[in-house]
Amino acid sequence: MRIKKVAIAVGLLAALTVSLAGCGGGASDTLGTQGAQAPAEEVLPTPEPTPTPEPTPTVQTVRFSASGDNLIHEGLYNQARRRAQEEGKEGYDFTFAYENLRDFYAGYDVNWLNQETLVNDAFEPSGYPMFSTPTGISDALYDIGFRVFSMSNNHSYDKGSQGIESSLAHWASLPEDVVTAGFYPLTEEAAAESDGLSYQTVNGITIGYLSYTEYTNGIPTPADAEHGVVYLDDTETVSAQMAQMRPNCDVLVVSCHWGVEGSHEVTDGQRQTAQWLADQGADLIIGTHPHVTQTAQWLTAQDGRQVFVAYSLGNFISAQSEPDNMIGAILSVEFEKTIQPDGSSSVTVQNPRLIPTVTQYENGYADIRVYLYRDYTDELGAAHGNFTLDRSYIQQVLESSIDPEFLVLE
């Protein structure tokens, strides 16, 4: 029995061994090569390379305005003195005269003005015919948004060489963003300090400014003057200054004090001079002096550039006594600079418009101030001192003196 038990045990062990071999031996090898392969990795498509974007030009823009003759008569500085006194201040407060245009000028990057009179405190204030304006006016002009001032005009020599030097010293004392043009060095000593050529860079565009006059009311350049004007008929000097400035600026603005006072007609001399300035390299020509509005036009320079000229912006503000002297225009343009990927650039003058203004005062030249025409009413015109100035008359003057292509009444 003991042997039998052993035999049975051995038999059971042998059977178990065979059974295990059948499950885990050859059958396992067969399944491993035929039915139990690991899944292959998924092959994704190769993404297309992102194309390199083509370089595009960079465009920079400056919105530029130019306003006409800032002609400061006695009535204007007297009212400014009274207003300062009423406010308990010393000096002069000219703000009231310009306040109506504050929001308008805020819409521009650069505001240019023809400062018709000398500005200084070296002389007592004076009006027509030999002007001198207290420095308080520059505070108001700066506050309202003006930064560029043209000073070459027929009143530049009203106070001799001291008038020029004291005015230059005052303008130089203003914030660094103030730019003036029109008084140039006349001596080697003055030229060693400054060539009198003015530049301004705004929004990546560099603007150069020149200012010339046809005459100085018969007053010659003072013999002792260190600085003075350059006359428009001094073509040698004008050409040399323009040639010196042209490579250093994107836009060259030239202002001309020219024409016939009180006349809406552009003279042949104005037209010829404008074309010559365009050929010399000017991009924008701003005309002042007639105290009334004149037309504007595009000119084609010798090199094919399109140059814009406004022959007269009329008065910005004054206390003159004729209706047409109350009507002016602000020139609005855009300078657009396009910089190509290779670094080359070009600049164009675009969208020129003439936006009318009206000077208002009541009887006795009281409360002198300036309005945009679009804000002017017949009620104001009925209260105008010396004459009635209604909107229909203003419109008639503007439409008869300015090309409708550029005139903006509303």
pTM over 0.85: yes
Residues sharing a CB contact under 8 Å with residue 82, sequence separation 6 or more, in sequence order: none
Positive or negative: CA dihedral 94, 96, 101, 103:
positive
Q: Report the pLDDT value the prediction gives residue 42, as an integer from 0 to 100.
A: 67
Vertex 146, ends 319 and 282: CA angle to 5°?
A: 100
Q: Report the pLDDT value the prediction gives residue 40, as an integer from 0 to 100.
A: 60
pLDDT tens digits in sequence order for the chain, 410 residues long: 333 333 333 343 333 343 434 434 443 444 344 445 555 666 677 777 787 788 899 999 999 999 999 999 999 999 999 999 999 999 999 999 999 999 999 999 999 999 999 999 999 999 999 999 999 999 999 999 999 999 999 999 999 999 999 999 999 999 999 999 999 999 999 999 999 999 999 999 999 999 999 999 999 999 999 999 999 999 999 999 999 999 999 999 999 999 999 999 999 999 999 999 999 999 999 999 999 999 999 999 999 999 999 999 999 999 999 999 999 999 999 999 999 999 999 999 999 999 999 999 999 999 999 999 999 999 999 999 999 999 999 999 999 999 999 999 98
SS3 201: strand
Contact (Cβ atoms closer than 8 angstroms) between residue 99 and residue 343: no
Q: What is the CA radius of gyration of the chain?
A: 39
CA 240 – CA 397 distance, rounded (Å): 38
Q: Report the pLDDT value the prediction gives residue 32, as an integer from 0 to 100.
A: 41
Q: Report the pLDDT value the prediction gives residue 6, as an integer from 0 to 100.
A: 35
Positive or negative: CA dihedral 69, 212, 250, 198:
negative
Domains of the chain: 58-401 (3.60.21)
Q: Report the pLDDT value the prediction gives residue 8, as an integer from 0 to 100.
A: 35
